[in-house]
A and B are shown apart, each in its own frame.
Chain A
Amino acid sequence: MKFNRIYGLFLRHFFLITRSFPRVLDLIYWPSIQITLWGFISNFFASHSTYYNNAVGVILTCAILYDFLFRTSIGFNMLFLEEIWSRNFTNLFISPIKISEIIISLVFTALVRALIGLIPAILLTSPLFGISLLDLGIYLFFLFLSLYIFGITLGIFVSSGLLRFGPSFENIAWSTMFLLAPFGCIYYPVEILPEFFQKIAYSLPLVYIFEEARNILINQSVDFQNIIKAFYLNIIYLIIAISLFYYSFEKARKKGTLINIGE
């Protein structure tokens, strides 16, 4: 594994982002709108709901956590799609970069993209709504890390589809997060879901992450079981996603997708 190649691919996207003010604005704009909207909704529920009235920032905190997941996942896919849109795909895959180096580079770049968008939005929450994510304490780090891993995992899953099926898979790239959102129990407890849906939800790390965020904020206690289960599931899904990416690459080499995808 060579740092130069990982850095080279990072540099390609770094140049792209920093060259264009509209791109930076686009990264910041949607998280800020999203969080402002959920901030007001959060305030409303806090004053009209017995469930939320002990913790004003529960909905908003969960909205921020979900947005981080969404930005990480979409960010990873966007980096991949960018190569297709710019017809640079072939150039990338005829360079001596390894699959593992592509994944590492995009994982890191996706984090930078997500943070560019999210940090200004998080900073908004304190003066606008009097809420700080830091209320989650040290556990915030574990929740963010868990969401980051799952976001990347989803990004790798979708990119595997793009590799295997080409640009026609693009629409799936945009819709994955919306498909999983109901099962993630972002804004409501898992018990709200019908029993069969609960089984699906418990097979995803999201439900443990958001249940724990609510637990910390509402009950002021920490259930390490939730954090550990989320990590455990994350590792399993990440291994599956990376294996699928390698498999899709080999399939694409057999089917000829790598030649046609960028043209």
Chain B
Amino acid sequence: MEYSVEVINLSKSYGKKDAVRGIDFKIKENEIIGLLGPNGCGKTTTIGMLLGLLKPSTGQININGMKIEKNRIEILQKINFISPYIELPKKLTVKQNLLVYGKLYSVKNLNNRIEYLTNKLRLEELLNKITGELSSGQKNRVSLAKALINDPDVLFLDEPTASLDPEIGDFVRTFLENYKREKKISVLLASHNMNEVTRLCASVLMMKDGVIIDKGKPKELIAKHGRQNLEEVFLKLTRSKNEI
């Protein structure tokens, strides 16, 4: 299977308001695609549909060759998500949270999986701590461990390094690069950090007002729009009145 994720003519409307309008894109195995756009452009709605939390108004989503509307549970078994806007139960310890989610995803050899992620994400000293008492950086690593507990084929990341200091942010980015290379997973990364997107993403989708207004490799987009970096491209595209 060449593409892990296929999005075909996807739209979502709330009454008369179109949140997403006829978008198409694909993500290959072992590829990170960036999803950029200003707040309210439809990124979260798109991710919500990819996660099965939202029912598309029209269009189709295939993950691992299966339609999400018909195979939601099977697909959820092989995907996962991380966002700073959702949290793990605060009163549980880190290990308890990983145990709970390991059970919810029916992970085989769960203790081995937790040990593996603990080593990879430097969680040894955090396992018995209360999740709600951790720092942002620590919580972020725990959320990442939860997102990888089921050894996903596809990972959806919504601003995974928001509010992290540069050191932790770099650790997370390096981890994601290595993990993707090792496991050959597909990743959709929604981020406002243009350096992060430039570093991690093979290709970028630029969204505005619910549509994809441009796409391509970060360097190609920079060259195409005659700008110095991706941030300038982002500003040019999002400030322009007419679609490009």
Contact = CB atoms under 8 A, between A and B. Distances in A.
B76 A96 contact: yes
Contacts of A98: 73
B48 A91 contact: no
A86 B89 contact: yes
A4 to B, nearest CB: 4
Contacts of B79: 94
Contacts of A9: 100, 104
Interface residues of B, number: 36
Contacts of A96: 73-74, 76-77, 104-106
A82 B99 CA distance: 18
Interface in A1-34: 2, 4-5, 7-9, 11-12, 15-16, 19-20
B234 interface: no
B26 interface: no
Contacts of B96: 11, 15, 19
A20 B53 CA distance: 32
B92 interface: yes
B90 interface: yes
Interface residues of A, number: 35
B92 A15 contact: yes
Contact of A19 (B51, B52, B91, B102): B91
A8 B90 contact: no
A95 interface: yes
Contacts of A12: 89, 92, 100
Contact of B86 (A7, A91, A256): A91
Interface in A75-95: 82, 86-95
Contacts of B104: 4-5, 8-9, 92, 95-97
Contacts of A263: 85-86
Contacts of A86: 87-91
A5 B106 contact: yes
A48 interface: no
A87 B73 contact: no
B89 A16 contact: yes
A145 interface: no
B103 interface: yes
B98 to A, nearest CB: 11
B50 to A, nearest CB: 10
A90 B146 CA distance: 13
A158 interface: no
Interface string B35-60: 00000000011001001111100000
A8 B89 contact: no
A87 B86 contact: yes
A70 B78 CA distance: 39
B76 A94 contact: yes
A208 to B, nearest CB: 39
5 contacts: A91-B146, A94-B76, A94-B80, A95-B101, A96-B73
Given A82-B89, A94-B81, 12 more contacts: A4-B106, A8-B104, A12-B100, A19-B91, A86-B88, A88-B87, A93-B53, A94-B53, A95-B101, A253-B54, A256-B48, A258-B54
Question: 5 shortest A-B CB distances, which residue pairs?
Answer: A8-B103, A8-B104, A96-B76, A95-B104, A253-B55
